[in-house]
Amino acid sequence: MRLASLTVGGARRAAAVDRTGTAVAALPASLGTVDDLVRGGPAALDAAREAAEAALAGPDVLPLDGVRLEPPLQRFNRDILCTGWNYQDHFEESAGKRGGQDPAERPTRPTFFTKGPDTVIGPADDIAYDPDLSAQWDYEAEIALVIGRDGRSIPEAEALQHVLGYLVANDVSQRDLQRAHGGQWLKGKSIDATMPLGPWLTTADEIADPADLQVQCEVNGVLRQNASSAQMAFPFARLIAELSRGMTLRAGDVLLTGTPSGIGSARDPQVFLGHGDLVVTRVGGLGELRNRVVATSLV
């Protein structure tokens, strides 16, 4: 099932997207939003599946290209949880280019950080860009997963049972801010209206093999990133097991799982985003984000 978010009659509603990714239909208002469904447990998802089948076969189906989809999730338990350096080639491409903040050796455990929820924008919304705030706006195509069951110290063998579904994300980062605040990444990852998320939430049962998803990012039609999730240093289950050790993960938590090589700051010469750039982020089986970088006053 593919769960999207849109506004109907001034109210935010959950919607279902068909298997071809070309049509959408709003679900009954009584089901609530996608955030409600994520937190509602198996009964809520079963009701959504039944409603989705009826809605997509009914008279109110709309062509997807005529609808403005919003971020599928808009109510967050906490900051967006994130993973750094989770593709080995990405870790290696940035060696010596981290402003003196290179680790002594390749990490043997996942590196986690967070970013503020006000970063989140929809699958076709503009990415805010303010050159007075930062001179180094960089793209990072990622797979995001959504927790559907609470758990603490989750065994790796059981970790994927806690995943409700997956989304496409782009962890747009401000590299100079990322380096300027003591090596902590929060500031350079938390600028408002800079993280596209969507285009819809694909439930885990739709994904045959989470370790075989192709992650891509194009900037102005040029392919900048292209890798398989099989190249992750730490697969999804390991990330969940490590992150949840002694720390409760709750239904609705969102975890970004890392970006592959090809980022702008690691190129020679470096390539950063600017006003007017079109960033297309896609993951095979999960959909595509299309976002324009637009000058915005943020300070």
Q: Kindly report, residue by residue over 40-83, the tens digit of the pLDDT.
A: 999 999 999 999 999 999 999 999 999 999 999 999 999 999 99
> Is the pLDDT at 250 greater than 90, yes or no?
yes
> Is the pLDDT at 102 greater than 80, yes or no?
no
pLDDT for residue 43: 97
* SS3 state of residue 145: strand
pLDDT for residue 93: 79
pLDDT for residue 94: 65
When pLDDT is cut at 50, 70 and 90, the band that residue 98 belongs to is low
pLDDT for residue 100: 60
| Distances 200 to 19, 123, 147, 216, 252 between C-alpha atoms, Å | 12, 8, 15, 17, 14
% of the chain surpassing 70 pLDDT:
96
Mean of all residue pLDDT scores within the chain: 95
Does residue 66 come out as left (phi exceeding 0), alpha (psi in the -120 to 50 range) or beta?
alpha
| Distances 58 to 19, 26, 28, 54, 61 between C-alpha atoms, Å | 15, 10, 12, 6, 6
Residues 157-163, mean pLDDT to the nearest whole number: 98
Q: What does pTM read for this prediction?
A: 0.95
pLDDT for residue 88: 82
> Is the pLDDT at 90 greater than 80, yes or no?
no
* SS3 state of residue 217: strand
CA dihedral 238, 235, 254, 243 (to 10 degrees): 20
Eight-state DSSP code of residue 28? P
